[in-house]
Structure 1
Amino acid sequence: MSVPPKILILTGSYGNGHLEVTRSLITELNKRGISNIVTSDLFYEAHPILTNVTRKLYIKSFTKGQNIYGFLYYKSDFRLTDFRIDRMIDRYGYMRISQLMKENDFDLVINTFPMQALPIYKQHTKSTKPVIPFINVLTDFCLHTRWISDSIDYFFVACNSLKEELIDTGINENKITVSGIPIKEEFYSYDKFSMSEDITSNQTKRLLISAGAHGVLKDLAQIIEKLKVKEDLHITVVCGSNQLLFNELMKAYQNDVTISILGYVSNMANLMNQSDIMVTKAGGISLSEALAIRIPLVLAPAVPGQEKDNARFFEKEGMAILTKSEEEIVPAILILLKQPLLARSLTKQMENHFYPHASGLIVDRVLALIENPRVHKEPSHDSKEIKN
């Protein structure tokens, strides 16, 4: 390819996952000398007021309003129902895509956010615009139909079961690659699979708790109090950008040498590699990072929606202990500390579901699509398209 391509990446700012995937893809593209990249937080640009309202609802779903967010998430799955609010939002996205396409001559569009705005655009312009590849990079281990359309030329997914689900909807299997979810390359530098020997030793064990920016764990101090009595356990808590939580925990534990309280960190991969067990929420990025490090997981109670579905998948595949209430977290940690064979089993199952260097694989494939955009074209199937 003599002239570097111009690429549009669509993302969303509901949580950090979609943005992390976008950043990972941009880093990989830059390595290939491709810097002509436009990123768009599509719905925010199209309708900032509505986006801010729904974003606040998403954040509140971690502490309040979980049933509301879950209702909206499952209601917008049109395998179950026809949800007109989402149809309206997608049309705002379609208008923004139309504007971006009019102003730029893109060679490829990569989408990292579940929406139907891209298929709507393609349906409206298929006879008037040049054919360029439209790519979906799914950012969870579960399927929502806002990812599904025959108008999408290629799909990259986290796991084999997700590929099978897409095939069941009518998407041709030749349009799907199991790539894993793109994460920072630094996570591939560690291999935690040998950890199982460490957890059987008499040395001090290290517990890592990723508290999350939105207060996922309501009674974190109580969890710490129950665990700190164990003399052979060191606890590290990462509060992220949650300054209130950081201040509260620092005040309580700044003089306790067995407890480390951290704010936002840039060395999460190293912290995970040094730890024997991790407590985290079931976001697609967090789980993918854990797969790369192969660290035994205790999953915090998940909110209804994609995180609950992710958590159920990890529990079903034997890759994590899923807790249904915060009262179950401490017993789950103690079980892993006392049962090294269980910890070893979790990491072994992680090995079976791990796909390294997802960004590199995806970029290799999409660059091939730019060279020959019709290679992966398939006849239309009966999968349900968005009504417009």
Structure 2
Amino acid sequence: MIKNILIISSDYTGHGHKSITESLLERFNENKEVKVHVVDGFSLGGKTLLKIGKTYGPITRTSKNLWELIWDVSAIKPSLVNEFIELIVKETFIKLLEEVKPDLILTVHPNFNGSIINILKEQKINIPFVTLIADLVSIYPLWADSRASYIISPTEEAKNKCIEYGVSEDKVKVLGFPVRSRFYKHIEEDQENNTYNTDIPLKCLIMSGGEGVGNMRKIAQILLDNFNCIVKIVAGRNTRLKKSLEESLVEKYGDKVEIYGFMDNIQDLMQSCDIAFTRGSPNVMMESIACNIPLVITGALPGQEEGNPKFAEKYNLAVVCENVKNIKNTISNLLENDAQKLNEIRRSQRNYSNPNIAKDIVSFILNIENT
């Protein structure tokens, strides 16, 4: 059995990779015989690569066009990205291998798949290498390196994309998208009564991932001006946005508005609300579904998030409203007939959600043969 694992994650490119890693660690830690060492892949490249990783937040907050350009250019020739990363991390990574001596390497960030496999091949190190895809549909070519021992996919859609990129079907295992256990804490044996009652104020949550992007102020104003509701807004790490929202909304709407920064206990806020407005971030979407809070997806980053809104609609996990002007009609439609459509989304989410995904992934990894 695999007993010593090296996980290559990322601390600064959004919060999703870190959250996925934490969800797996919860399950790995249940087995006292297993040791897990986690490293931020960008730290392996010293200040240069770490600085590149830290640009993700500012770029995605301020310039979607620039992010789309970066995505498109690097997707054209993924081998160049692999060679660049390999060159920068090689020396540090080899030292790390000598210290950790892992039985298996697991990556949860696309930049450290082909690059690390290159190093392992050059050094003639033959240990299982597993990739866990942290996106849902529109996956990056770097996720799909056919030399990996296995690729763990969150969806059939991502699996099909891997096969398009040339990965053999038997290497791709669809095991779901892992979410930290605290997002499932609210689950009861019988949730059939977990429905929204239109006689009480609609508790709305507006968020957009750890980086705090999106037209939050306008969405809040439309909701507060047109519905009997309470609006809670999470600005994430974007402190400037938080201050701006406090100055513009709290003064006008008083205690009908609550503004938060980055939160470690975001699940408590989710579980206290009836509906959430968010960008199509895979991690935020899956955590919301685990909390059984219907979603209104207001947009998506170019590249890795492009297919997420349609994916959510396909399984009735959310509605999509990318034009803020349509927010009023979208919510009115959800609340018609005693919130019939809103409550249908709740039921679809309960059917889709699986609290055992992280456990299943860890079980699969620990039972891979160490060759």
Under a length normalisation based on structure 2, what TM-score does the superposition of the two structures give? 0.86
Aligned residue type for 1:41: D
- Measured in 2, the distance between the counterparts of 1:24 and 1:320 equals 23
- Measured in 2, the distance between the counterparts of 1:283 and 1:10 equals 21
Deviations 1:107-157 (A, max 9, x none): 1111110032122123223xx33x321111111102221011232112222
Residue aligning to 1:385: none
Does residue 100 of structure 2 align to residue 104 of structure 1? yes
More deviation in 112-121 or 94-103?
94-103
Aligned residue type for 2:223: L
More deviation in 180-189 or 245-254?
245-254
How is 1:3-18 mapped onto 2 (pairs within 5 angstroms)? 5-12=3-10, 13-18=12-17
- Measured in 2, the distance between the counterparts of 1:253 and 1:112 equals 39
Does residue 246 of structure 2 align to residue 246 of structure 1? no
- Structure 1 264/63 Cα, relative in aligned 2: closer, same or farther at 3 Å? closer
**CA contact 1:180–1:354 (8 Å) conserved in 2:** no
Residue aligning to 1:327: 325
- Structure 1 230/326 Cα, relative in aligned 2: closer, same or farther at 3 Å? closer
Does residue 127 of structure 2 align to residue 132 of structure 1? yes
More deviation in 314-323 or 98-107?
314-323
- Which ranges of structure 1 fall in alignment gaps of 5 or more residues? 375-388
- Measured in 2, the distance between the counterparts of 1:295 and 1:59 equals 26
Percent identity, aligned pairs only, is 23
Residue aligning to 2:261: 263
Residue aligning to 1:342: 341
Residue aligning to 1:373: 370
Q: How big is the shift at 1:286?
A: 0.7
**CA contact 1:9–1:40 (8 Å) conserved in 2:** yes
Residue aligning to 2:200: 203
How is 1:169-208 mapped onto 2 (pairs within 5 angstroms)? 169-191=165-187, 194=191, 198-208=195-205
SS in 2 for 1:24: helix
More deviation in 192-201 or 169-178?
192-201
SS in 2 for 1:241: coil
- Measured in 2, the distance between the counterparts of 1:195 and 1:204 equals 21
How is 1:31-46 mapped onto 2 (pairs within 5 angstroms)? 31-34=30-33, 36-46=35-45
Aligned residue type for 2:31: R
Q: How big is the shift at 1:352?
A: 5.0
Aligned residue type for 1:159: T
Residue aligning to 1:382: none
Q: How big is the shift at 1:187?
A: 1.4
Aligned residue type for 1:39: V
What count of residue pairs does the alignment treat as equivalent?
363
- Measured in 1, the distance between the counterparts of 2:66 and 2:79 equals 14
How is 1:211-360 mapped onto 2 (pairs within 5 angstroms)? 211-218=208-215, 220-230=216-226, 232-251=228-247, 252-253=249-250, 256-338=254-336, 340-351=339-350, 353-360=352-359
**CA contact 2:211–2:235 (8 Å) conserved in 1:** no
**CA contact 1:233–1:258 (8 Å) conserved in 2:** yes
- Measured in 2, the distance between the counterparts of 1:104 and 1:89 equals 21
SS in 2 for 1:62: helix
- Measured in 2, the distance between the counterparts of 1:89 and 1:330 equals 46
**CA contact 2:6–2:104 (8 Å) conserved in 1:** yes
- Measured in 1, the distance between the counterparts of 2:81 and 2:148 equals 22
Aligned residue type for 2:211: H
- Which ranges of structure 2 fall in alignment gaps of 5 or more residues? none
How is 1:59-70 mapped onto 2 (pairs within 5 angstroms)? 59-70=57-68
Does residue 141 of structure 2 align to residue 145 of structure 1? yes
Residue aligning to 2:28: 29
- Measured in 2, the distance between the counterparts of 1:82 and 1:367 equals 30
**CA contact 1:282–1:299 (8 Å) conserved in 2:** yes
More deviation in 278-287 or 69-78?
69-78
Deviations 1:249-305 (A, max 9, x none): 334417723222223333322322222110112222111112212321111222212
**CA contact 2:9–2:40 (8 Å) conserved in 1:** yes
Q: How big is the shift at 1:82?
A: 5.6
Aligned residue type for 1:282: G
- Measured in 2, the distance between the counterparts of 1:204 and 1:163 equals 41
Deviations 1:364-384 (A, max 9, x none): 111111xx235xxxxxxxxxx
More deviation in 190-199 or 134-143?
190-199
- Structure 1 261/165 Cα, relative in aligned 2: closer, same or farther at 3 Å? same
**CA contact 1:157–1:178 (8 Å) conserved in 2:** yes
**CA contact 1:195–1:276 (8 Å) conserved in 2:** no
Under a length normalisation based on structure 1, what TM-score does the superposition of the two structures give? 0.83
More deviation in 181-190 or 137-146?
181-190
- Measured in 2, the distance between the counterparts of 1:322 and 1:99 equals 47
